[in-house]
Amino acid sequence: MGFYAVMAAVRGFQFIGGSEQDLVHASTYLDNAAKAIGWAVLFDMLDGRIARMTKTTTEIGVQLDSIADVVTFGLAPAVLAYVWGFGASLKEGSDLHQLAWFLSFMYLMCGAFRLARFNVQASRPRILAEGTIKVDKKSFVGLPIPVAGGLIAAIIHFNPLPLMHYGPERAKIYSVLLMTLMGGLSLLMVSTLRFSSFKTVGTRSRSMRAIILAVGIGMLIFLYSRHVLLLLVVSYIFHGLLSRVVGVFRKRPELSETKIEAEQM
């Protein structure tokens, strides 16, 4: 899926800069590339579960999974964002264009670092440096790279027409917003914020609610994929950010009560 997404994006880039009909052709290729990344997110959620259910987990499978993630959710979204957004909208060689290259590169590097950190924490949690956050199966440390790549794909799937379709001025503004988004996703991937893994969903014997919810979401995606996919990814990211904010405010009253008790003693 990652390879297909890159090839479809490159093919779509060949049509950008031509007539209005060419932009429509380009949007078809870009939409297909975004869909491929979306399918890859689903496959990434299922492959580990299937391996564990069938007891076919191997060390080489773990390494291949990370390599595939770098290509599919790191390289492919970076190329797709460049083709759809600032690649044709910003002047070649300008400061903004060079900054776009840099942010795309940093997105890829931060995604690779995020995967490497996860692999190290999962395989050797006891010999990590003191102060490193321990692995928690219920949550991820840092934004998962499939979510970051999925957000870029969901945005392009929501509106696959290249940004230059809106004219030079608006395309430049949208490109700057896209660059800001990629910079923010890069920081979230290497951050220590916790995001739910949902690995325990559906593992209990009484998981009928989870099955009904999954079927309902699947039907909504089938009928309204452009809106539902974008809403799901944005909701997941904001859920992680809001959980951190709520956690900070919950700790403050506890610290205040402890301080008061200590003063009274």
Query: Any idea what the CATH number is for the domain that residue 112 is in?
Result: 1.20.120
> Is 28 within 8 Å of 16 (Cβ atoms)?
no
Tell me what pLDDT residue 128 has: 47
119 within some domain: yes
List the structure tokens of 114.
Answer: 């995020």
Tell me what pLDDT residue 127 has: 46
Mean pLDDT calculated for residue range 88-97? 87
Tell me what pLDDT residue 137 has: 62
Question: Confidence band (pLDDT; 50, 70, 90) for 152?
Answer: very high
Q: Report the Cα 254 to chain-centroid distance in Å.
A: 34
What's the domain count of the chain?
Answer: 1
236 within some domain: no
234 within some domain: no
232 within some domain: no
Tell me what pLDDT residue 199 has: 63
Q: Which of 50-64, 132-146, 167-181, 209-223 has the lowest mean pLDDT?
A: 132-146
Which residues, listed in sequence order, are joined to residue 140 by a DSSP beta bridge?
195
- pLDDT digit string (tens) for 110-143? 999 999 888 887 766 544 444 554 555 677 888 9
85 within some domain: yes
| Buried residues in 129-157 as b, exposed as e (16+ CB within 10 A) | eeeeeeeeeebbbbbbbbbbbbbbbbbbb
Q: Domain range for residue 177?
A: 2-196
Which residues, listed in sequence order, are joined to residue 194 by a DSSP beta bridge?
141
136 within some domain: yes
133 within some domain: yes
Question: Confidence band (pLDDT; 50, 70, 90) for 61?
Answer: confident
- pLDDT digit string (tens) for 70-79? 999 999 999 9
* Model confidence pTM above 0.85: no
78 within some domain: yes
